[in-house]
Amino acid sequence: MAADPRLDGTSIAPSVLDLIGNTPLVRLTRLSEVEQIPSVLAMKMETTNPGGSSKDRPALEMILAAERDGLLPPGGTIVEPTSGNTGVGLAIVAAQRGYRCVFVMTDKVAPEKVSLLQAYGAEVVVCPVAVEPDDPQSYYSVAARLTEELAAFRPNQYANPANPAAHVRTTGPELWEQTAGRITHFVAGAGTCGSLTGTARYLKSRNPDVRIIAADPEGSVFSGGSGRPYLVEGVGEDFFPAAWEPDLYDEVIAISDEESFLTARRVSEIEGILIGGSGGMAVAAAIQVAKRAGPDDIVVVFNPDSGRGYLSRVFNDEWMANYGFTRECERCVGAVLDTRAGMAELLYVNPDQTVREAIALMRANGVSQLPVCKNTPPFAAAEVSGAIDELEVMEAIAGDPGVMTMAVEKVMGPKLPTIGVGQPIERAVQMLEVAPALLVLSGGRPLAVITRTDILTYFEAAADLPADALSPEAPGA
């Protein structure tokens, strides 16, 4: 649309698209004091983009590029398999520029994410998560079929050069201007690598000495992991996307889920800036960098989105405690493990081991349940696929002796209920009224299995303590 002269001299933006980018940079003054950071540590606040995240930038750039390249005719359709921030960005741009948007996602996605995209007028197709990628119902297959049937444009942010280009054009120059060319370090999480690589390209073109630091969840391939699961959302990968450009990065720092989440909560509390788990991860890495940096250095950390999207997880006390990220009491499940001598490591079986092997392991260690976990320790909670129970195995073998040589995954039962290492012993007692054993999580990872016998052993040992020592709220406990 042609510029309207009535807006001349005003600061009325012609459309919401003109509000994408130019996000503020704010010093993390209180955090810097607490952490005794000698350099200047500042945060790029991507929450002030209209969609609330950094993804508005690539969404706009990818659509403008598709229009230029003739891939998206007027009134055309955009299909993308996404449930997150990129979907919001695309939906905003599509609303402004008159496109139809269809997002494909799995039924694992939280219902509010579906509602959020629908609120922008997008259509959402939900596919079952529990099917193989080549199943016609899988979300990959459905996205491919819809793209073809609707003759749609598929932005594919993981391979689209317009994604990093958005940050070369906007984020990089903004940071250069906002720091008067004095930025010395840029720290960001990486998913598609668009923000990290695009911003790095620009900053290095202005000053090759600017240090670029990627923050990465432990387990992700960017920091040398094998792509095993973690809980922080939106960052890290199990493959290298097109924009991965390691020559541009000076350092990759791996950060645990625990440190990411606790840092997000701390920043929100002490700075009054509500950030998500991936923002917490980036800040945790930036604190390390800023502590090493000199007094004249300016360290910028990229905060991609708001903590509002993570209220049911990172900011939910119950969720955090259940994964063993926080302590709810002084005398908690961890104390039961402390009284248990000589069984430090987690006993488990892999899904492809035989039932015979599982029985041998249970017998050798005098236990009646084993979690079934993929890979080798340290496990992520998501790598637990079920449990083997002595009683159930016995019944199965009685009915069919062939079960003995079968793979554990064929006969395993549901996963053991989980409890956080910092949750009250009373909660474990309640849960053990119905479950034979519990899987204890610490820092989001399985730590041990506890049973009624463990609790009784603890009570027995604690009997020598003052009577109120068994209460989780015991004063001075």
Ligand X SMILES: Cc1ncc(COP(=O)(O)O)c(C=O)c1O
Q: Determine how many CB atoms are found less than 10 A away from the CB of residue 138.
A: 20
Report the C-alpha dihedral over residues 174, 177, 182, 184, rounded to 10 degrees.
10
What phi and psi values does residue 462 have, to the nearest 5 degrees? -80, -10
Peptide bond into 58 cis (omega under 30): no
CB of residue 320 vs ligand X: minimum separation in angstroms? 18
Report the C-alpha gap between 194 and 471 in whole angstroms: 51
CA distances from 256 to 223, 281, 359, 443, 467 (A): 12, 8, 34, 8, 38
Strand 369-373 and strand 211-217: pairing? unpaired
Task: Single out the residue of 217, 220, 265, 264 nearest to residue 239, CA to CA.
Answer: 220
CB of residue 109 vs ligand X: minimum separation in angstroms? 14
Tokens 């993804």, residue located? 55
Half-sphere exposure of 90 (CA within 13 A, CB side): 30
CB of residue 152 vs ligand X: minimum separation in angstroms? 22
Decide if 428 contacts 455 (C-beta within 8 A): yes
Half-sphere exposure of 201 (CA within 13 A, CB side): 18
Decide if 269 contacts 307 (C-beta within 8 A): no
Extended beta strands in 107-236, E state:
123-127, 185-189, 211-217
Decide if 444 contacts 325 (C-beta within 8 A): yes
Q: Which residues bind ligand X (CB under 6 A)?
A: 85, 189-196, 233-235, 278, 282, 304-305
Report the C-alpha gap between 35 and 17 in whole angstroms: 38
What single-letter DSSP state applies at residue 3? P
What phi and psi values does residue 370 have, to the nearest 5 degrees? -140, 135
Structure tokens at 10: 């005003």
CB of residue 179 vs ligand X: minimum separation in angstroms? 20
Cβ-proximal residue to ligand X, closest one: 234
| Pick 244 or 458: Cβ nearer ligand X | 244
CB of residue 191 vs ligand X: minimum separation in angstroms? 3
| Pick 52 or 420: Cβ nearer ligand X | 52
Q: Determine how many CB atoms are found less than 10 A away from the CB of residue 255.
A: 26
| Pick 220 or 418: Cβ nearer ligand X | 220
Tokens 């009570």, residue located? 459
Catalytic residues: 55
Please list the alpha-helical segments (H only) found in 354-476: 355-365, 390-399, 408-411, 425-432, 452-462
The helix (run of H) or strand (run of E) holding residue 287 is helix 277-292
What phi and psi values does residue 95 have, to the nearest 5 degrees? -60, -45
Structure tokens at 64: 């403008």
